């Protein structure tokens, strides 16, 4: 039993508790259409009752929750800064200009495929899925509404592209984390991921191309009206894309995420003063409460009225609750008991890769935390992969294919909540159309069973 584990439950106990928690959360969100906060709070209460019955001091359980939350405080700061970034990119004209460019080059015949490619490129360039969704993603969703394309399919394409970038970019936190957890070279890891990622990318691209609306369905008059409305805001300027360039440059120079977001946000604020002088008290209000625009065109107003720190509070509260629950699940030994039972059943290469993939998926489903799905699965399966003489890069690829890209598909996860609130499209609505995220774990499991591109240790 490790230091953070204070109970060693029987596997049946652990399984019943885990199934109860999944049932409570799933029923509340899917059937009752509740926000995730309350069912997670109920689950935390259930775990505290269980811990009390097992004679674990309340103080110990409280400390496990606090420790779990404090370990991810950096993510909370990033969310707050992304709220500020969106506001600054709106007042600086970056998002409106990207929206205008999108309206100018849009092709209805391959619209969803274009969205997927653009978000994949930007996601790879900046290494952040959530920043991609909050900036380029918002602009692409605006283009979709202007040509009356499906918002849920567009959201699925945005999420797929953003998480392709998050998975394959050498600048991505998750890519670096997966490589470091199993101790393989970063670029060896990225090269190895291409075997499963490229087929998933191509299949997704074909799917989006086939689903794209026909040319006849595009309303050119509506697009012209939206473009004229955007120009009338005085926010559309060639230099308004500079904050995006600043974001990419800072990322290339490997500046810390907080510094990168802050500099990009400041550049947006500076640009705002080229359009009009904003009183300081009004600027602070916009950065906290978000930007609001009244053009008389409802679709444009809804796209340009968003952002601010305040918009992130819903997500941040949920992160705190989810991580608290995760801390309790570990302190009470529930996760450990289930992992131990699972590993005893895995004998072949295919079963071990499948087990690791399903573990990463299960951690995303129960805890809703992307980084933990990589860390815990990587640590749990290191020895098992070694026993079968499998190179560690196989494990790194598996946890990325089934950990990184699954988080946005979980309604109560950190990424799922952020995306749903940013794009105003629920996770369950866009989930069937997030093709790349759905195909990635399928590919890694299939390649494992067929023994394709599986590298053995040479010593």
Residues constituting the chain = 459
Cα dist from 363 to 18, 119, 129, 290, whole Å: 11, 26, 20, 33
Question: CA 235 to CA 87: how far, in whole Å?
Answer: 13
Q: What value does the mean pLDDT of the chain take?
A: 83
Q: Is the dihedral of CA 394, 397, 400, 401 positive or negative?
A: negative
Both tokens assigned to 178: 């997966």
Task: Phi first, then psi: give them for residue 306, nearest 5 degrees.
Answer: -165, -175
Q: Residue 398: what pLDDT?
A: 92
Residue 418, pLDDT above cutoff 70: yes
Q: What is the pLDDT of residue 106?
A: 66
Least trusted range by pLDDT, from 72-76, 97-101, 142-146, 235-239: 72-76
Encoded tokens for 35: 């926000």
Q: pLDDT at position 220, please?
A: 64
pLDDT (0 to 100) of residue 2: 45
- Contact indicator for 309, 84 with CB cutoff of 8 Å: yes
The answer to whether 189 and 179 are in contact (CB under 8 A) is: yes
Domain ranges of the chain: 11-73+315-450, 74-312
- In whole angstroms, what is the distance from residue 289 CA to residue 292 CA? 9
Residue keyed to tokens 């490790």: 2
Which runs of consecutive H residues, i.e. helices, occur in 332-434? 334-343, 349-367, 370-387, 392-399, 414-423, 427-430
For residues 374 and 399, the answer to whether their CB atoms sit within 8 Å is yes
With cut-offs at 50, 70 and 90, classify the pLDDT of residue 215: low
Q: Give pLDDT tens digits for 278-334.
A: 888 888 898 999 888 888 776 677 667 777 888 878 777 877 887 788 788 888 888
In terms of pLDDT, which residue wins out, 199 or 143?
199
Going by C-alpha positions, the residue among 364, 345, 435 that lies closest to residue 403 is: 364
The answer, yes or no, to whether residue 434 has pLDDT greater than 60, is yes
Q: In a 3-state reduction of DSSP, which class is residue 456?
A: strand
> Inter-axis angle of helices 242-252 and 257-275, to 10 degrees?
160
Residue entry with tokens 């087990």: 355
Predicted local distance difference test score (pLDDT) of residue 318: 74
pLDDT tens profile 258-288: 888 889 889 989 988 887 778 888 888 989 9
H or E segment to which residue 274 belongs: helix 257-275
Report, in this order, helix, strand and coil percent for the chain, each rounded to 5. 80, 0, 20
Q: Give tens-digit pLDDT for 149-196.
A: 889 999 999 999 999 988 888 767 788 778 877 888 777 888 899 999
Q: Which residue has the tokens 């499948």?
A: 354
Name the percent of the chain lying above pLDDT 70: 92
Q: What is the percentage of the chain residues whose pLDDT exceeds 90?
A: 19
Task: Give tens-digit pLDDT for 356-409.
Answer: 899 899 888 877 777 778 877 887 787 788 888 888 889 999 999 999 899 999
Residue 111 has pLDDT above 60, yes or no: yes
Please compute the mean of the pLDDT values over residues 81-90 and round it to a whole number: 85
Q: Name the residue with higher pLDDT: 203 or 303.
A: 203
Q: Give the integer Cα–Cα distance in Å for 218 and 259.
A: 41
Query: How much is the pLDDT for 154?
Result: 93
pLDDT band at 432 (very low <50, low <70, confident <90, very high): very high
Alpha-carbon distance of 222 to 229, in angstroms, equals: 11
The Cα–Cα gap between 228 and 236 comes to: 10
């Amino acid at each position: 039993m490790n230091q953070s584990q204070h109970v060693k439950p029987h596997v049946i106990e652990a399984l019943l508790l885990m199934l109860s928690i999944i049932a409570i959360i799933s029923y509340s969100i899917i059937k009752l259409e509740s926000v995730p906060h309350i069912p997670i709070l109920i689950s935390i209460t259930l775990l505290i009752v269980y811990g009390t019955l097992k004679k674990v001091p309340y103080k110990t359980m409280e400390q496990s929750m606090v420790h779990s939350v404090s370990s991810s405080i950096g993510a909370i700061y990033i969310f707050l800064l992304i709220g500020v970034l969106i506001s600054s990119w709106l007042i600086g004209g970056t998002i409106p200009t990207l929206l205008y460019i999108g309206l100018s080059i849009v092709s209805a015949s391959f619209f969803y495929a274009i969205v997927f490619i653009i978000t994949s490129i930007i996601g790879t360039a900046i290494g952040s899925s959530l920043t991609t969704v909050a900036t380029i993603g918002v602009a692409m969703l605006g283009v979709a509404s202007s040509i009356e394309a499906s918002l849920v399919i567009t959201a699925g394409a945005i999420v797929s592209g953003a998480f392709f970038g998050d998975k394959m970019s050498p600048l991505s936190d998750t890519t670096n984390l997966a490589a470091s957890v199993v101790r393989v070279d970063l670029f060896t890891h990225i090269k190895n991921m291409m075997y499963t990622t490229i087929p998933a990318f191509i299949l997704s691209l074909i799917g989006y191309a086939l689903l794209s609306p026909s040319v006849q369905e595009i309303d050119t008059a509506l697009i012209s009206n939206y473009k004229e409305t955007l120009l009338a805001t005085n926010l559309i300027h060639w230099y308004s894309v500079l904050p995006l360039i600043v974001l990419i440059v800072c990322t290339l120079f490997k500046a810390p995420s907080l510094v990168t977001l802050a500099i990009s946000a400041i550049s947006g604020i500076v640009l705002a003063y080229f359009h009009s002088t904003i009183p300081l008290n009004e600027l602070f209000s916009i950065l906290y409460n978000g930007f609001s625009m009244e053009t008389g065109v409802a679709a444009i107003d809804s796209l340009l009225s968003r952002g601010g720190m305040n918009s992130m509070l819903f997500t941040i509260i949920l992160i705190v609750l989810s991580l608290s629950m995760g801390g309790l699940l570990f302190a009470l030994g529930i996760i450990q008991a289930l992992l131990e039972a699972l590993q005893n059943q895995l004998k072949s290469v295919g079963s071990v890769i499948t087990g690791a993939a399903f573990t990463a998926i299960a951690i995303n489903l129960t805890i809703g935390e992307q980084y933990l799905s990589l860390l815990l699965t990587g640590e749990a399966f290191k020895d098992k992969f070694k026993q079968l003489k499998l190179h560690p890069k196989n494990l790194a690829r598996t946890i990325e294919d089934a950990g990184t890209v699954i988080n946005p598909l979980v309604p109560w996860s950190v990424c799922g909540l952020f995306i749903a609130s940013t794009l105003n499209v629920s996770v369950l609505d866009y989930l069937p159309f997030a093709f790349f995220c759905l195909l990635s774990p399928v590919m890694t499991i299939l390649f494992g069973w067929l023994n394709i591109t599986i590298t053995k240790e040479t010593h």
